[in-house]
Amino acid sequence: MIPGIDFFVPAVYFAAAVMFIYGLKGMSSPVTARSGMIWAGVAMLLAVLVTFIHPKVEGNYLLMVIALVSASALAWWWAKVVAMTDMPQMIALYNGMGGGSAAAIAAVELLKLHSGQAQMVPTTLLVASFGAIIGSIAFSGSLIAYAKLQGWMRKSWRFPGQQVFNLLVFAATIGLGVWIFIDGPTPTLLLLFFSLALLAGVLLTVPIGGADMPVVISLYNALTGLAVGFKGYVLEIPALMIAGIVVGAAGTLLTQLMAKAMNRSLTNVLFAGFGKADEDATGAAASGEMRAIDATDAAIQMAYAEKVIIVPGYGLAVAQAQHKIWELTELLTSRGVKVTFAIHPVAGRMPGHMNVLLAEAGVPYDLIYDLEDINAQFPTTDVALVIGANDVVNPAARKDTSSPIYGMPILDVDRARNCIVVKRGQGTGFSGIENLLFFEDNTRMLYGDAQKVAQALISGIKSLG
């Protein structure tokens, strides 16, 4: 054994944990997010390297190196080639891998306990079992979320008595965990235990509608963090405990914020079959008709406006139009138009999706406003340009008590003097809810691919001289 190793390893783990927390703090602001990611990355590198000299690590160094190199290379390549529209799927899958890893560690430790290769005090056994459950749920649930976001699973599966059945599966999983705690693990018992835990994650996620995916992703992020924290306790690695619990706590807070942004309680999100409303009801039928506008007239409106607010949605990501929209913004600004961006907390398919999209295009952070900071400005705004957003700008949330999104905080674009909605067609959008905004007297529909429309607007403004 290396002299002083019993002090050195915990000291490096502690330093890594402090850096994790500092990095997470940096990620709370777009201005410091990049440096926060670097701090967290360096912390992870330190934690991984010091694990090679951990007193409890015996051999298998070649397998460790192969796993690290291959996984790192794959992650680096994927991060480079993934499209911004596919970022939610990537995040969901990475959440799942973290939960799956925690569950796998629990399985190995419990098998060691069965074979007599390891000893666990009752508290550690309890923590290992609970971490295995939430890690497995996060793993299988995230895989289903990935399949839904990727378009492989377009239907939300529901059946009579589903909530009761889900509760029974979860109760049976807990019961097996108690059995393991009392009588100890056996291979057969562990196989059944993990199978039910994985099934619980699937059953929890399959009924969820796509519009609720931001809540789903943040929820599974929280579960993964907690599972990793519990595994840190089982393995007696403080850095893993601290990092996992911090991520779990941050994910829980984010889930609460996402649920609030959709007018849902956390209890409703967890236990009431969330996402059901967006497919089972569409609210009252809209009256009136959609009125179209061409790019030339829209360009004139925006060029001679004093204030323009741009509201991005998932359609912007699909069209990869963020760079053209920033070019349009710069052109308007050069004409003396005040342009800002309004972001709803659940716009896109994951928390912060639109912020990441705009940052990629180089939009300055001081031009991007959250819902609570921008809503009061809409009544004094000449033009609100909505690009590919739907539910987050739907005034049915204020006006239609029969709508499934009634009570949900929205961006008040309908209160702008003029509203231009860029949309591919006249469909109801991802959630299937009719958008009353499209029928408002001050709204005009600008149909077409967002990138092509943005280019047409740019050309139209330039032609004005």
pLDDT tens figures, 147-180? 888 878 766 677 787 778 888 999 999 999 888 8
Q: Are the C-beta atoms of residues 400 and 418 closer than 8 Å to each other?
A: no
Whether the per-residue pLDDT at 289 is higher than 80: the answer is yes
**What is the helix (H) or strand (E) element at residue 34, kind and residue range?**
helix 33-51
Question: What is the distance between the alpha carbons of residues 142 and 202, in angstroms, rounded to a whole number?
Answer: 9
256 and 302, same domain (yes or no): no
**For 242, which DSSP code?**
H
From 39-53, 83-97, 384-398, the region with the lowest mean pLDDT:
83-97
Read off the CATH number of the domain in which 409 is found: 3.40.50.1220
* Residue at 132 is within a domain: yes
* Residue at 285 is within a domain: no
305 and 404, same domain (yes or no): yes
Q: Are the C-beta atoms of residues 198 and 170 closer than 8 Å to each other?
A: no
Token representation of residue 86: 């596919």
Nearest CA to 171 out of 196, 208, 135 is that of: 196
pTM of structure: 0.78
Q: Which residue has the tokens 């994790």?
A: 20
Whether the per-residue pLDDT at 303 is higher than 70: the answer is yes
CA distances 187 to 108, 137, 184, 399, Å, are 11, 20, 10, 57
Q: How many distinct structural domains can be found in the chain?
A: 3
Q: Which residue has the tokens 């990138």?
A: 451
User: Which carries the bigger pLDDT value, residue 445 or residue 163?
Assistant: 445
Tell me the HSE value of 394 on the side-chain side, using a 13 A CA sphere.
Answer: 31
Instruction: Select from 49, 81, 113 the last residue of a domain.
Output: 81
* Residue at 176 is within a domain: yes
Question: What is the distance between the alpha carbons of residues 15 and 49, in angstroms, rounded to a whole number?
Answer: 13
User: Which carries the bigger pLDDT value, residue 443 or residue 254?
Assistant: 443
99 and 68, same domain (yes or no): no
170 and 93, same domain (yes or no): yes
Domain ranges, residue 7: 1-81
H helices of 151-294, in order, are 162-183, 187-205, 213-235, 238-261, 266-271, 277-280
What pLDDT score was predicted for residue 278? 43
Over residues 269-281, the mean pLDDT reads 48
User: Which carries the bigger pLDDT value, residue 188 or residue 273?
Assistant: 188
Radius of gyration (C-alpha) of the chain in whole angstroms: 25
* Residue at 114 is within a domain: yes
Q: Residue 263: which region, alpha, beta or left (left: phi > 0; alpha: psi -120 to 50)? A: left
* Residue at 290 is within a domain: no
pLDDT (tens digit per residue) in 100-147: 999 998 898 888 887 776 677 788 888 888 899 999 999 999 999 888
What pLDDT score was predicted for residue 274? 40
Whether the per-residue pLDDT at 315 is higher than 50: the answer is yes
Over residues 199-222, the mean pLDDT reads 82
117 and 198, same domain (yes or no): yes
Instruction: Select from 20, 53, 81 the last residue of a domain.
Output: 81
Average pLDDT, the chain: 85
172 and 302, same domain (yes or no): no
Give the highest mean pLDDT range of 202-206, 252-256, 442-446: 442-446
Instruction: Select from 81, 102, 118 the last residue of a domain.
Output: 81
pLDDT (tens digit per residue) in 326-339: 999 999 999 999 99
Nearest CA to 335 out of 377, 302, 296, 379 is that of: 302
77 and 88, same domain (yes or no): no
* Residue at 35 is within a domain: yes
* Residue at 202 is within a domain: yes
User: Which carries the bigger pLDDT value, residue 164 or residue 384?
Assistant: 384
Whether the per-residue pLDDT at 227 is higher than 70: the answer is yes
- Catalytic residue list: 391
Question: What is the distance between the alpha carbons of residues 97 and 105, in angstroms, rounded to a whole number?
Answer: 12
Question: What is the distance between the alpha carbons of residues 65 and 156, in angstroms, rounded to a whole number?
Answer: 41
**454 — pLDDT class (breaks 50, 70, 90):** very high
Question: What is the distance between the alpha carbons of residues 388 and 348, in angstroms, rounded to a whole number?
Answer: 9
Helix (H, G, I), strand (E, B) or coil at 229: helix
69 and 87, same domain (yes or no): no
211 and 336, same domain (yes or no): no
User: Over pLDDT 90: what percentage of the chain?
Assistant: 35
**430 — pLDDT class (breaks 50, 70, 90):** low
Whether the per-residue pLDDT at 91 is higher than 90: the answer is no
* Residue at 189 is within a domain: yes
What pLDDT score was predicted for residue 275? 43
173 and 321, same domain (yes or no): no
249 and 350, same domain (yes or no): no
From 57-61, 66-70, 216-220, 284-288, the region with the lowest mean pLDDT:
284-288
413 and 449, same domain (yes or no): yes
User: Which carries the bigger pLDDT value, residue 327 or residue 272?
Assistant: 327
Question: What is the distance between the alpha carbons of residues 312 and 309, in angstroms, rounded to a whole number?
Answer: 10
User: Which carries the bigger pLDDT value, residue 465 or residue 407?
Assistant: 407
